[in-house]
Structure 1
Amino acid sequence: MTGEITTISVRAEPLITGYRGLICDLDGVVYRGANAVPHAVETLNRVTADGISVVFATNNASRPPEDVESHLRTLGVAPHGWSVVNSSQAAAAYLAKRLGRRARVCAVGGPGVAQALTEAGLTPIRVADLDDTPVEAVVQGLGIDVTWSELAAVGYLVGAGVSWVATNVDLTLPTQYGEAPGNGALVALVQTAVNAAPHVVGKPQPALFDLSRFRLGTDQPDTLVCGDRLETDIEGANSAGLDSLLVLSGACRLRDLAFAERASRPTYVATDLSGLLAPGLPVPTSSRELLVELTDAVPRVPHRGDNGKLLQAVVTAAWAARDDGRAVSDDVGIWEKIERRLGLVQLDQAR
């Protein structure tokens, strides 16, 4: 039997006090469908009350920003100190730099896609309104009413040489009922029919992070990204040179986090958004204040201790072992037991 000890240090002040601006994801972080994620609203209200500016940056392009803003206010988010940007706006900004003013662009997805194109000075054309006048590009975003005919039209346009822009390629979307197909699933359907790939503007690409930082007016060291997806929020933050907080209230499970590759590892980890108000615990790190032992490839979590700090230590132990070439158990049942020990089972039940 072999054991590996990993320790973690504690910074006394709340994590968010080290930053001037927060780029925060929405689905799975602030809400799931119509319902707020526990602790999210009160945390955000505390953050904005303390003078931290927030931009909610979402890959979900189905709704216009004002609809999202209304939803947030309905959930109880205070009305000041924040704004919303989405990947439709990033797509529109990308095309506005490359096409002439009023250029015709086919808009597939929810109403947020067409609205963003209009605001950028372009002319959105729905599939039902396509005529003999050609379009110069097609933007594909998520929409609950997207039909087979619309997906087929994207394929036809791409096959004819029209520029194809996807707002994002998230395969799933967290809802109050569970995981639903995301825009990436619909993009993949089109890709099965055409020998082409879209230009993607949403996370993890830098366009949405750049747009968000412009809104915040912050430099890279002063900006924190918070999200629930390793492959979009965290990988994108790393690529943009920004610190990040991964919360386990959405798509990512503890086992996913433990096996994250370097490019998609967050700076900080927390159960939910309330981690912004807890002491900052960067991972991986080292000190003598908290011990977690990795024995026979399994993190051995103490029966007592602060769950937030223990979460940090478990992740640190797993990363350190994997980076050194040592085995870490990938048994789903073992990681579910660790989740229960750390109080994460409530999140699973709420998904």
Structure 2
Amino acid sequence: MTGEITTTSLEAEPLSTRYRGLICDLDGVVYRGATAVPGAVETLNRVTADGVPVVFATNNASRAPEDVGDHLRKLGVAPQGWSVVNSSQAAAAHLSEFLGRGTRVCAVGGPGVAQALTEAGLTPVRVADLGEEPVAAVVQGLGTDVTWSELAAVGYLVQGGATWVATNLDLTLPTPYGQAPGNGALVALVQTATSASPHVVGKPRPALFDLARSRLGTGLPHTLVCGDRLDTDIEGANSAGLDSLFVLSGASRLRDLAFAERSARPTYVAADLSGLLAPGSSPRAAVPGHLVELTPGAVAHLADARENGELLRSVVATAWAARDEGRAVCDDAGMWETLERRLGLVTRSRPHS
């Protein structure tokens, strides 16, 4: 990976300054529902003020990019230096490659789905307005008001030969109250009823990353992905050949990171997005002298340990090294929760577990 650079270089500059553009997730990274993740807004404003552009790329297709932008500005994000792309736009771009302008496409999900289809020159049709005229495809994205009737209609259309595109397969969506069902959970209902499989455009597939990079105008070595999901943000970044910063402020927890397979391991780790302003170093480059033993008995000795960021990387590096060597890593949930508390991850990043 391009992020594996020398220790001297890692200690010399903030992580964000090593890249020419950032692709940043939203849910669980910048905000949780209506509430900003602590430190995220201040970090983003500092990064864009330093001349590093940001494209917010989200699998959540329920809202139009303009609405997401309004939400970000209300949270205090500076008005310039960033843009928003979502998986609905990636779905519309995919369909526009082989469907003629004006082709009718059923739009299931929030307003962002229909708007993206319109922008791509296609004609969005809601389930309630289908009538007798056929549609060539159906795009299924997240929407808080999606009904059983709409899910049933997706199944009927797919069984009738319509092309089925899912914006993403995220099973959960982080909210201030905990994890809520994501679009993947709703897609799974249709799959169960039809035995069909959709074409997926959201993370970890490359379409959304490609769309975001086209907005940034950056090459692979100069683009950093920031996200909170190992199976979408990080695995997708790795597949696309991009460096990544994984933050523990959203869906995935420390234990998930420690047990991550190689395909879902990030280049860098941090408690939250403020890690962009710190001299980043990779768990992959951790030296043996910085490792800690991952046993329940060792947790009691962490109170006097070094700076939390270094300790976090040491914990992760230890788990990865042990698993790669075929050694057992403690799977005790209580131990990992205690480690999170010692590192300040529960109180700072996850008020609702």
TM range (shorter): over 0.9
1:326 aligns with 2:300: no
Q: Which residue of 1 aligns with 2:292?
A: 293
CA drift of 1:299 comes to 6.4
Opposite residue 332 of structure 1, the aligned amino acid is A
- Give the 3-state SS of the residue equivalent to 2:323 in structure 1: helix
Take 2:107 and 2:189, find their aligned partners in 1: how far apart are those partners?
17
The structure where helix makes up a greater share of residues is: 2
Give the TM-score taking structure 1 as reference length.
Answer: 0.95
Deviations 1:192-216 (A, max 9, x none): 1002100000000000000000000
Take 2:157 and 2:273, find their aligned partners in 1: how far apart are those partners?
42
Take 1:264 and 1:298, find their aligned partners in 2: how far apart are those partners?
28
Deviations 1:266-322 (A, max 9, x none): 00000000000001111211447x622326588656422100110011000000000
Opposite residue 344 of structure 1, the aligned amino acid is L
Q: Which residue of 1 aligns with 2:351?
A: 349
Q: Which residue of 2 aligns with 1:113?
A: 113
Alignment check: 8 A CA contact 2:140 2:187 kept: yes
1:23 aligns with 2:23: yes
Q: How many residues align?
A: 343
Alignment check: 8 A CA contact 1:299 1:317 kept: no
Alignment check: 8 A CA contact 1:169 1:184 kept: yes
Q: Which residue of 2 aligns with 1:188?
A: 188
Q: Which residue of 2 aligns with 1:4?
A: none
Show structure 1 runs of 5+ residues with no match.
Answer: 1-7
- Give the 3-state SS of the residue equivalent to 1:234 in structure 2: helix
Take 1:224 and 1:265, find their aligned partners in 2: how far apart are those partners?
14
The 1:318–1:65 alpha-carbon spacing in structure 2 relative to 1, beyond 3 Å, is same
Q: Which residue of 1 aligns with 2:137?
A: 137
Opposite residue 199 of structure 1, the aligned amino acid is H
Take 1:299 and 1:160, find their aligned partners in 2: how far apart are those partners?
59
When structure 1 is superposed on structure 2, of 296-305 and 261-270 the one drifting more is 296-305
Alignment check: 8 A CA contact 2:48 2:54 kept: yes
Take 1:313 and 1:295, find their aligned partners in 2: how far apart are those partners?
10
Show structure 2 runs of 5+ residues with no match.
Answer: 1-5
Take 2:297 and 2:113, find their aligned partners in 1: how far apart are those partners?
46
- Give the 3-state SS of the residue equivalent to 1:304 in structure 2: coil
1:125 aligns with 2:135: no
Give the TM-score taking structure 2 as reference length.
Answer: 0.94
The structure where strand makes up a greater share of residues is: 1
Alignment check: 8 A CA contact 1:258 1:315 kept: yes
CA drift of 1:350 comes to 4.8
Opposite residue 32 of structure 1, the aligned amino acid is R
Q: Which residue of 2 aligns with 1:197?
A: 197
Give identity over the alignment, percent.
73
Take 1:291 and 1:218, find their aligned partners in 2: how far apart are those partners?
34
- Give the 3-state SS of the residue equivalent to 2:194 in structure 1: coil
When structure 1 is superposed on structure 2, of 340-349 and 161-170 the one drifting more is 340-349
| Mapping 1:67-78, distance limit 5 Å | 67-78=67-78
* Higher RCO (C-alpha under 8 Å, 6+ residues apart): 1
Q: Which residue of 1 aligns with 2:3?
A: none
| Mapping 1:206-245, distance limit 5 Å | 206-245=206-245
Alignment check: 8 A CA contact 2:296 2:335 kept: no
The root-mean-square deviation of aligned C-alpha atoms, in Å, is 1.5
Deviations 1:157-205 (A, max 9, x none): 0111111000001000001111100000000011110021000000000
Take 1:304 and 1:96, find their aligned partners in 2: how far apart are those partners?
55
Take 2:228 and 2:297, find their aligned partners in 1: how far apart are those partners?
24
- Give the 3-state SS of the residue equivalent to 2:283 in structure 1: coil
The 1:74–1:155 alpha-carbon spacing in structure 2 relative to 1, beyond 3 Å, is same
Opposite residue 344 of structure 2, the aligned amino acid is G
